[in-house]
Amino acid sequence: MILKASQRSGAAQLGRHLLNAQDNEHVEVFEVRGFIAEDIMGAMKESEALAKGTRCQQHLFSVSLNPPENEDVPAEVFEGAVASIEEKMGLTGQPRMVIFHEKEGRRHAHAVWSRIDAETMTAKQLSFYKTKLQEVSKQLYLENGWTMPEGLADKSKRDPRNFTLDEWQQAKRAGLDAKTLKSRAQDAWAISDNRESFAHALEERGLYLAKGDRRGHVAVTYEGEVFALSRLTGVKAKDIKAKIGKPDDLRSIADTRKHIANSIAPRLDSFIKQAKTLAKDALTPLRDQRKAMREIHAKERTKMAEGQKERWNRETKERAGRLRSGVRGLWDRMTGEHSKTVKRNELEAWQGLRRDRNQRQTILEAQHKERRKLQVKFRATRERHSKQILELHKQAANYRLMHNGIQQSLRDQFSRKSGQESRNNQQGQARPSRGLELKR
């Protein structure tokens, strides 16, 4: 289970993200503990109000728990993971929230703790939390028998296409896939050996080499978004300079955007718009299926929850009826029958809880399986669209290269012709022509 965490403020913004039902197909508030409020936004406001009594700027500790892609993980495993994180980070007893998100047939969780100790009005220190979370993550893979990612076992083998939250959000704003973007930049870097070949390889992939305002080399997307080249390629800035030189004579970001608008966009805009329209048309029936599936799944869950609640109330009433009152109840206490009945009730209640959870997990697994089948179609459609866009960028880059090559060839021919005429003129001035000699 991959764990990503951050210390942060912005309680209201985080609360809205956790309850975001637009980007997530299902949102479940699993637990709100240690707050007076019983809802997420109320708990967020409460944590922020408490933090104002301290000097702490980042009063929240937020962790996302992402299990392996094709694993259907029961709630108990998430609970165990949250408990391990809490103990490892020294947050035992701190107010917390746990929320489940489901999207594309996958389920992950978010756990958020308040760092403020209400008794001492100080913030819990979270030193080296990334290292500690990595230890918890490894332990979870071992305990659950999951295949551990190579990058987690060995840092040197990390997937270079992994991206930060900021990079993902930036790519999303431009309508791009962050992983695909990194992959294209790294492919361009691998197949090039100098600045010219690298710039052309980037352009074939919809990226344009430029000089950043502060970060040296950057890549500007066709849509105008700017990414640090070292982050996209996974190569250190000094190694980039060694291969393609300093960025001093490159276009600035503003000039690159103008270049795209004036030179590239006129040839590509209509084709890209057409490709996007075709992709949208292809995705529309899939999105309709996703919407219908989401509504059906939600109804199934609601029906199951209502049935479980009704059964639980009925069974609770039955268990309560076993505990006799009055003289008979006193007799049961004297003979030990009351204690036996209490233990029996506790065991049945625990078994009922396990039964309900297992039933819920079964229906979730069935729904996830159905949703994953639909996601395969989404991926295939998006890959086709991505390849079409990539091919358009390649054609545009090669057209410009070919056009420039023809112009250069004409210039070279003109230069050779001019040089030849100049040499002939010089020779003519030094020696009279045969015509004059014949005439004489």
Mean pLDDT per block of 10 residues along the chain (440 residues) reads 90 92 91 92 93 90 90 90 93 94 92 92 90 90 83 53 55 66 85 87 86 82 83 84 86 87 76 80 91 94 94 94 89 90 93 93 93 91 82 72 47 50 50 36
> Are 104 and 34 in contact, with CB atoms under 8 Å apart?
no
* 178 token code pair: 């962050």
Q: Strand order in 2-8's β-sheet?
A: 2-8, 60-66, 106-114, 96-103, 26-33
155 by Cβ neighbours in 10 Å (0-12 / 13-18 / 19+) ranks as: exposed
Q: Is the pTM of this model over 0.75?
A: no
Confidence (pLDDT) at 30: 93
Bridging pattern class, strands 60-66 and 106-114: antiparallel
Rg (CA), the chain: 33
Confidence (pLDDT) at 225: 83
Confidence (pLDDT) at 305: 93
**Residue 295 CB: number of other CB atoms within 10 A?**
10
Confidence (pLDDT) at 418: 47
Confidence (pLDDT) at 169: 60
Q: Which residues contact 369 (CB under 8 A, 6 or more apart)?
A: 105
114 by Cβ neighbours in 10 Å (0-12 / 13-18 / 19+) ranks as: buried
Question: Is the Cα torsion angle 196, 202, 208, 214 positive or negative in sign?
Answer: negative
Q: Which residues contact 218 (CB under 8 A, 6 or more apart)?
A: 209, 210, 211, 212, 226, 227, 228, 229, 253
Query: Which residue is it, tokens 């913004």?
Result: 13
- Which of 283, 387, 369 is closest to 104 using CA atoms? 369
- Which of 166, 137, 169 is closest to 151 using CA atoms? 137
439 backbone dihedrals φ, ψ, rounded to 5°: -65, -40
Q: What is the distance between the alpha carbons of residues 77 and 66, in angstroms, rounded to a whole number?
A: 12
- Which of 109, 114, 14 is closest to 59 using CA atoms? 114
The CA distances from residue 315 to 310, 319, 329, 345, 396, in Å, are 9, 6, 20, 10, 70
**Residue 98 CB: number of other CB atoms within 10 A?**
21
Bridging pattern class, strands 2-8 and 60-66: antiparallel
Query: Which residue is it, tokens 């840092």?
Result: 155
**Residue 260 CB: number of other CB atoms within 10 A?**
20
- What angle, rounded to 10 degrees, do the helices at 165-173 and 178-191 form? 100
Bridging pattern class, strands 60-66 and 207-211: unpaired
